[in-house]
């Protein structure tokens, strides 16, 4: 025979779950109690005397008594409501009222915040005893009820006296929640969770409400109000641009949804050059704060963007500290991406100075995420600005100077030599030392037919024109005898007599060899490194020392090729050219190599001076 049994609820165990798992901080107890007081005030406006009614919430901390008090002049509770909602876990009067109003009074329903029916239990995150005195709007004069619980299996309800309608919750504060007695921290907590609630919240004896009350986007002058709020909530006084949000219709594939969306996005002056940056998006639902630094609601590429949004369609989790990632979540994200993308495009087209400041403040983040997001790449590919040797340029501006080739450097060291070569061909060089720039350029070239890429570090041979070596054979013989790989080419500018060019991997190879020789690498890593070096085993040692390219276009080289065989002067000059080219190459030299280069250069100068 099958029988039905009731669940037995062990309240202390449930409170332990709430404290240890559901909520991240005891501060949410303040939030939940404010939410209950707020909804009680809204309920009184809906059901009662809204014409002369002035809702208010007062929070008082008494450290000497160890008590925190939250008082409202809202609707209050009847005995049946205490039994049915306050003492029944999982049932919420606010949720019920919201459901009842949803069809006939959706605007009033939207003002209510509560949802799940166990927020009041969060009071026990702050207190080991909770006392509630409440008088319902429908009760007789002075008729009230007192509810008391110590967090155990039982609670007590008894008649009480209260002259005004509303509810007072008194918490006997735990030592672990003593932060509530620090008025500054208490006000910060109120402003975090309830800054935008329309009901004023007063703290202790302060006659001014602690909360802002009016969302900046609802202010009669929203532009200035948003700037003030950014200063207050984000500690940022100079946003580069602000995008005010609005409701947007989203196509759901055959159907559509109008997403109610309020708030703003803004771009701060600068960001951290890191793909781990997540921006700072504060999320509100019906003016109640839910979370900040929401990482997924903004499009991935918008990590340089901050802001605050309020959308009543978003669904909070049970803890009300994050948002369910459902279809509505995706629709809001699409709306944010659409509005932000359109705003940035408008700024790029109509406010070039503002766009320049945005790009310069956030170039690294913008390029990094454009490489990973095709839609964002298409949006910014032609308007993002890159650092070049001729100043900041967009890629279309750059290609207008170079034809159809992108010349870039991936390192700072040695940049001067490659920059000189490129500019000798009337081509500025793009600074691609930030890891995302090279992939961005490669993606740009792949998406635009006919655009070539030349990496100046390691590929400068693209700018060196071979010439017949015979007229310069005497010079080449000298370098060959010195064990120096040398070649004669022609390049611009003609004033430069020679360049030293190294294989792109030479520095890594040399550093790795030194680490192995000094036994500085652990066994497993040493084995991997040895395999890496074996792949370059065929590279001649002379090539790792670099190759000297003599410039046949240089008048000095031409003169030396025709000079009489005055060996000391000729050799001193060629030796000096070699050492200057080494130092000018920008490749890292050891202290010993640098000292040797300077000694040989000085010796060559001494020969030339004495001749």
Mean pLDDT by 10 residues, the chain (611 residues): 52 57 77 90 81 92 95 92 68 46 42 46 86 91 89 85 93 93 94 94 95 94 95 89 94 82 92 56 92 84 89 84 89 92 88 86 82 84 86 91 86 56 70 85 93 76 81 90 89 84 60 60 55 52 72 90 80 87 70 75 77 68
* Last residue in a domain, options 156, 189, 213: 213
Strand arrangement, sheet containing 498-501 = 465-466, 485-490, 547-551, 498-501
What local confidence, expressed as pLDDT, does residue 199 receive?
95
Per the structure, the complete domain to which residue 428 belongs is given by: 384-459
Phi, psi of 256 (to 5 degrees): -140, 160
What local confidence, expressed as pLDDT, does residue 148 receive?
92
Q: Is residue 559 part of a domain?
A: yes
Does 548 lie in the same domain as 416? no
Does 58 lie in the same domain as 25? yes
Q: What is each CA distance from 282 to 193, 213, 462, 527, in whole angstroms?
A: 11, 16, 51, 50
Does 594 lie in the same domain as 471? yes
Task: Supply the DSSP string of 177-230, one letter for each residue.
Answer: GGGGGSHHHHHHHHHHHHTT-SS-EEETT-SS-SS--S-GGGSSSHHHHHHHHH
Does 242 lie in the same domain as 93? no
What local confidence, expressed as pLDDT, does residue 71 receive?
97
The CATH number covering residue 447 comes to: 3.40.50
The CATH number covering residue 493 comes to: 1.20.120.790
* Last residue in a domain, options 213, 234, 259: 213
* Last residue in a domain, options 213, 244, 260: 213
Does 471 lie in the same domain as 440? no
Does 158 lie in the same domain as 248? no
Q: Is residue 470 part of a domain?
A: yes
Q: Is residue 510 part of a domain?
A: no
Q: Tokens 């340089």, residue?
A: 304
Q: Is residue 232 part of a domain?
A: yes
The distance of Cα 92 from the centroid of its chain, to the nearest Å, equals 37
How many helices (H) and strands (E) the chain has is answered by 21, 23
Does 329 lie in the same domain as 408? no
Q: What is each CA distance from 18 to 176, 374, 529, 536, in whole angstroms?
A: 15, 43, 52, 61
SS3 431: strand
Does 605 lie in the same domain as 572? yes
The neighbour count for residue 610, using CB atoms within 10 Å, is 9
Helix 591-610, helix 567-585: angle, nearest 10: 150
The CA distance from 263 to 231, in Å, is 15
What local confidence, expressed as pLDDT, does residue 106 receive?
45
Does 476 lie in the same domain as 420? no
What local confidence, expressed as pLDDT, does residue 383 receive?
85
- Where does 351-428 have alpha helices with state H? 352-372, 374-380, 395-402, 415-424
What local confidence, expressed as pLDDT, does residue 422 receive?
60
Phi, psi of 148 (to 5 degrees): -140, 140
């Amino acid at each position: 025979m099958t029988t039905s049994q009731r669940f037995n609820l062990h309240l202390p165990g449930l409170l332990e779950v709430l404290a240890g798992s559901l909520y991240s901080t005891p501060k949410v107890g303040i939030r939940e109690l404010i939410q209950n007081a707020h909804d009680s005030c809204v309920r009184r406006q809906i059901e009662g005397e809204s014409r002369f009614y002035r809702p208010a919430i007062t929070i008082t901390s008494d450290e000497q008594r160890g008590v925190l008090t939250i008082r409202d002049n809202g609707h209050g509770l009847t005995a049946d409501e205490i039994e049915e909602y306050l003492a029944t876990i999982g049932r919420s009067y606010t949720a019920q009222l919201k459901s009842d109003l949803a069809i006939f009074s959706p605007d009033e329903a939207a003002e209510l915040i509560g949802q799940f029916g166990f927020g009041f239990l969060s009071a026990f995150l702050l207190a080991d005893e909770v006392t509630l005195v409440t008088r319902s709007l429908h009760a007789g004069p002075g008729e009230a009820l007192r509810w008391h619980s110590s967090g155990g299996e039982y609670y007590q309800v008894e008649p009480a006296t209260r002259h005004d309608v509303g509810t007072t919750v008194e918490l006997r504060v735990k030592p672990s929640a003593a932060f509530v007695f620090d008025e500054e921290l208490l006000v910060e907590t109120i402003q975090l969770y309830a800054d935008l609630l329309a009901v004023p919240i007063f703290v202790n004896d302060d006659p001014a409400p602690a909360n802002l009350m009016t969302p900046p986007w609802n202010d009669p002058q929203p532009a200035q109000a948003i700037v003030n709020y950014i200063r207050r909530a984000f500690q940022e006084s100079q946003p580069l641009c602000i995008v005010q949000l609005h409701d947007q219709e989203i196509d759901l594939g055959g159907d559509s949804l109008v997403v109610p969306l309020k708030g703003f996005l803004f771009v701060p002056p600068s960001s951290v050059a890191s793909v781990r940056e997540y921006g700072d998006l504060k999320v509100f639902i019906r003016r109640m704060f839910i979370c900040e630094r929401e990482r997924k609601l903004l499009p991935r590429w918008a990590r340089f963007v901050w802001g605050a949004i309020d959308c009543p369609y978003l669904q909070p989790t049970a803890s009300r500290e994050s948002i369910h990632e459902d279809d509505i979540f995706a629709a809001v994200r699409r709306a944010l991406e659409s509005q932000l993308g359109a705003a940035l495009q408008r700024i790029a087209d109509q406010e070039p100075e503002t766009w320049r400041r945005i790009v310069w403040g956030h170039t690294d983040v913008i390029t990094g995420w454009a490489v990973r997001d095709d839609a964002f790449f298409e949006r910014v590919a032609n308007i993002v600005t890159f650092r070049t040797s001729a100043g900041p340029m967009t890629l279309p501006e750059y290609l207008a100077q170079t034809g159809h080739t992108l010349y870039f450097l991936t390192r700072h060291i040695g940049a001067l030599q490659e920059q000189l070569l490129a500019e000798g061909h009337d081509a500025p060089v793009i600074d691609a030392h930030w890891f995302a720039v090279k992939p961005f350029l490669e993606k740009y070239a792949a998406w635009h037919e006919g655009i070539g890429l030349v990496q100046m570090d390691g590929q400068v041979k693209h700018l060196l024109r071979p010439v017949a070596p015979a007229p310069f054979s005497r010079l080449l013989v000298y370098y060959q005898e010195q064990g120096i790989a040398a070649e004669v080419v022609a390049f611009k500018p003609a004033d430069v007599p020679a360049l030293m060019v190294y294989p792109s991997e030479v520095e890594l190879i040399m550093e790795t060899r030194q680490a192995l020789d000094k036994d500085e690498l652990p066994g497993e890593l040493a084995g991997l490194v040895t395999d890496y070096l074996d792949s370059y085993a065929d590279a001649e040692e002379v090539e790792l020392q670099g190759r000297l390219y003599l410039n046949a276009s240089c008048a000095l080289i031409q003169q030396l090729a025709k000079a009489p065989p005055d060996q000391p002067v000729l050799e001193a000059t060629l030796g000096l050219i070699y050492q200057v080219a080494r130092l000018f190459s920008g490749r890292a030299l050891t202290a010993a190599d640098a000292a040797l280069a300077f000694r040989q250069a000085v010796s060559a100068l001494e020969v030339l001076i004495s001749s």
